Amino acid sequence: MASVITANNLTIAYDKGKNIVIDSSTFSIEQGEFVFITGLSGSGKSTLLKSMYGQIKPQSGSLLVGGLDMKKIKKGQLLQLRRNIGIIFQDYKLINEWTVEKNVVLPLIITGYNLDVQRVQAEKLLSHVKLSDSANKYPLELSGGEQQRVGVARALSKNPFLILADEPTGNLDEFSSGVVWDLLENASGQLNATVIVVTHKIPTIFNLPYRHFIIENGGVHEVH
Amino acid sequence: MFILPLMAMLIGVEFILLFNRITTSYEDKLKSDYAILVISKKELSTPLLRSYSDRVDSVESMNREDIAKEVTAGIQDAGMVAFLKGLPYFYRVHLTEYISLEELKKVQSNLKKIKDVLTVEIFGENYHSKHTMFRLVKMILNIFIVMLFIVSIFLVIKQMEVWQLAHKNRMQIMEVFGAPIMLRSGILFKIAFIDAIIATILNIGIFIYLKVTWAKKSDIDFIKENQDLLINVSDYFILFFTAFVIVLVSVLFVAVKSSEVPEG
């Protein structure tokens, strides 16, 4: 299997290197794997995830995402990479002035797919996340759980090779959490996407084999 | 609303164009009304005068008989002929530019170097007061334009800050999903360009009204005289172009400021 993420002596720091969050960590994640990253609050889980989509640059060592060095990546290459990554946020990050349907197809709009493709894909995904009736609503008309399902649909809309989820069920009720886990399991199992989920707690019922990394004192350790 | 600061800036631009035309026209008028008087024992030619000063534009010879008639009114013809024989040649010398008194004195001293020239009269005092007045008017207008521009720039910056707050969230979400800068700021461009078109049309409308209606009815001679200098067709294009450049710079500035990823 090909490596999707390869970290070698990866160090991530804030304040120009003064505040080290991830310290000299080495690990790799393969295509199609489902990975949980856990750790205490402030341990650096979200920081590690942000470095995977280029929001934060590594301080030292190397981090390859889809074969691209995130330390040396150019802005244009980064935008190109992001078009093939699905990202799910704890606070949903939906565009409130856009309808649910338009939010879902945002990655398709960015890539330049035509309206017909966008409509078909939005219909399919909204049906998967059980929000077919809400296509023309605006995010603020939905509950938190519904908004997160829109966020998941958006992340899956372009069949990304990598899905990064930051506490995707952190604010959700049981039903919405169940829908989100099902969708992520499907993405990994059926689409062969690599799914990396940062969470406080691994769900008790989970049907796929997965890997578990824990971040402690700046180190990223795999739990066997 | 981006229209108001944009309109203020465009009014500033139109004033620059207008004042430029007015000062140029005023300068031309002063220049054409003014001439140096050169009195010479013998006839002078334009190339000769020009060879002594490159500021010489044209030379007008004054009719000696007319001068003699005026001076010898009531004297017999024979007396007039004798008078004419001894009368020197008079020339009105027009200059290429409306120059300062210092430069004018330089021209005077250069022309005095011509062998047969008896005197060169520059009417310095009168010229100096008119020239000073002209410079003062130009300076006041320039100060006014600069102040108008500074105020407009502040208004545009404030508007950009409002935009940034209003659109930052959407732009950052789009950037996370890989949208290029032009797509991220697409809606801003749309709003800004519509505002630019409206602001330009309103500006043109105001100045056309001033030209066609207000200036005609005005009791002020200066405005009536310069009515034709108010907005003209080339200004329409300059205003459109200026408005588009302003919105382009403003939107790109907001888009770049909203980006969370450093350029690399």
pLDDT tens digits, residue range A33-53? 999 999 998 899 999 999 999
Contact B173 A95 (CB under 8 A): yes
Rounded CA-CA distance B6/A219 in Å is: 54
Task: Please answer whether residues B150 and A54 qualify as being in contact, where contact means their C-beta atoms are separated by less than 8 angstroms.
Answer: no
Average pLDDT, chain A: 92
Q: A58 or B182, which is more confident? A: A58
Q: Is the pLDDT of residue A100 over 80?
A: yes
Which pair of structure tokens corresponds to residue A34? Answer: 């489902």
Measured from the Cβ of residue A67, the count of other Cβ atoms closer than 10 Å reads 10
Q: Find chain B residues with C-beta within 8 A of A93's C-beta.
A: 169, 173, 176
Is the CB of A82 less than 8 angstroms away from the CB of B173?
A: no
User: Which residues of chain B, if any, have pLDDT below 50?
Assistant: 262-264
Q: What is the pLDDT of residue A35?
A: 95
Please choose, from the candidates B42, B137, B41, B53, the residue with its C-alpha nearest in 3D space to the C-alpha of residue B94. Answer: B53
**Does residue A10 register a pLDDT over 90?**
yes
**Domains identified in chain A and CATH numbers:** 32-56+74-223 (3.40.50.300)
Chain A residue whose CA is closest to B260:
A55
The reported pLDDT for the residue numbered B1 is: 65
Q: Return the sign of the alpha-carbon dihedral for residues A114, A120, A124, A126.
A: positive
Q: In the predicted model, is pLDDT for residue A24 greater than 60?
A: yes
Using CA atoms, how far apart are residues B172 and B162, in angstroms rounded to an integer? 16
Tell me, what's the pLDDT at B251? 83
| φ, ψ dihedrals at B39, nearest 5° | -115, 130
Calculate the CA A169 to chain-centre distance.
12
pLDDT, residue B246, reads: 86
Please report the ipTM that was assigned to this predicted complex.
0.90
Model pLDDT for residues B35-59, shown as the tens digit of each residue? 889 999 888 889 999 999 998 988 9
pLDDT category at A192 given cuts 50, 70, 90 is confident
Q: In chain B, which among 137-196 make CB contacts under 8 A with chain A?
A: 169-170, 173-180, 183
Q: Do A53 and B174 touch (CB under 8 A)?
A: no
- Residue from the list B169, B178, B260 with its beta carbon closest to the beta carbon of A110: B178
In the prediction, which pLDDT does B76 show?
67
Q: Are strands A211-216 and A34-39 parallel, antiparallel or unpaired?
A: parallel
Amino acid at A68: L
Q: Each residue of A135-173: pLDDT tens digit? A: 999 999 999 999 999 999 999 999 999 999 999 988 888
Check residue B261 and give its pLDDT: 54
pLDDT for res B20: 81
Structure tokens at B6: 């944009």
Nearest CA-CA partner of B137 in B222, B238, B228: B222
CATH of domain B35-122: 3.30.70.260
Contact B256, B163 (CB under 8 A): no
Q: What is the mean pLDDT of residues A76-102?
A: 94
Share of chain A above pLDDT 70, in %: 100
Q: 10 Å Cβ neighbour count for A184?
A: 26
Q: pLDDT-derived band of residue A102, with 50, 70 and 90 as boundaries?
A: very high
Q: What residues of chain A lie within 8 A of the CB of B261, using their CB?
A: 54-55, 75, 78
Q: Where are the domains of chain B?
A: 3-28+129-258, 35-122
State the count of interchain CB pairs (< 8 A) between A and B.
Answer: 53
- Overall average pLDDT of the A44-72 stretch: 94
**Smallest Cβ distance to B173: which of A73, A81, A93?**
A93
